[in-house]
Structure formats: C-alpha cells, structure tokens
C-alpha cells in the first residue's frame, strides 16, 4: 500500500509540474519583442510607421488589417477562411506575443501572405510599436 501511495504521489507531482509548465509557457512579452526587433533593426520601432504599414496593402491583395481589423482591438476574421482571430493589440489580448516560437511562426506566415516575403526586423518593430500604442 505504501508503494502504491508513493507511485500515486509521484504521478500527481509529475502531472502538476507538467501543467504548471504549460501555464508558464510564456517566454517573452510584447515589450521584449519590441526591444529585440528594435535592436536588430538598429532603430526604435515607430508607431506611426507601424500603423501605416499595418493598414496598407503591400503589393498584394491583403494588408494586416484585412484580417486583424482597424484598429486590431477586437476580434478579427481571416479574409479567406473566415476563421476567428483574437485581438492583436496586447492591451486587448494579454496572451498575444508571449510565446516566441508562436510569434515567429505567425509573423513569418502572415508576412509571406501580405508581402510575399518575411518581414524585416524594422517592420516588425514598427508594427509592435503601433500595437503597443493601442490602449483600453
């Protein structure tokens, strides 16, 4: 019986550790992302340039605003699939931009959709500066 209790307790602790790690998966913040991209660009992000970039079609059919809305403070909807998209502005969606791998994945994918290439560090810094300027 004692062995059973020990194994059960070990399993319970392992599950708690796993769930705790999942809850703490955030490895970055919007401010850290802005700082990283500004450093890589060699200049601070510009909210005004980010807003212009976000709302402009960059040679293709779509702009960032096509799916995320203008301003991106409410739920958006994917332009071709109709899939719901949570607000992109961090003040309206605190979980956004808190997982580096996810941020990289979606910037890469969305920039390719809008620009037919990856966004530069300066473009990312400008967009992030714009998104951080949007307040409740």
Tell me the per-residue pLDDT of 67-97, one tens digit each, with 9 for 90 and over.
999 999 999 999 889 999 999 999 999 999 9
Q: What is the mean pLDDT of residues 35-52?
A: 97
Answer yes or no: are the C-beta atoms of 121 and 19 closer than 8 Å: no
Distance separating alpha carbons of residues 52 and 46, to the nearest angstrom: 10
CATH superfamily ID and name for 28-133: Cytochrome c-like domain (1.10.760.10)
50 Cβ neighbours under 8 A, 6+ residues apart = 125, 126, 127, 128, 129, 130, 131, 133
Q: For residue 60, what pLDDT band results from cuts at 50, 70 and 90?
A: confident
Q: What is the pLDDT of residue 2?
A: 53
């Amino acid at each position: 019986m004692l062995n059973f209790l020990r194994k059960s307790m070990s399993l319970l602790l392992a599950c708690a550790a796993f769930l705790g790690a999942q809850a703490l998966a955030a490895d970055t913040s919007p401010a850290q992302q802005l700082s990283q991209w500004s450093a890589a660009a060699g200049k601070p992000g510009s909210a005004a340039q980010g807003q212009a970039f976000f709302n402009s079609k960059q040679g293709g059919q779509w702009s960032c605003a096509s799916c995320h809305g203008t301003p991106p403070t409410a739920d958006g909807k994917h332009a071709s699939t109709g899939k719901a998209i949570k607000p992109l502005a961090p003040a309206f969606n605190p979980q956004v931009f808190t997982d580096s791998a996810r941020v990289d994945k979606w910037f890469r994918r969305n920039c390719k959709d809008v620009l037919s290439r990856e966004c530069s560090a300066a473009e990312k810094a400008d967009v992030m500066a714009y998104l951080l300027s949007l307040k409740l």
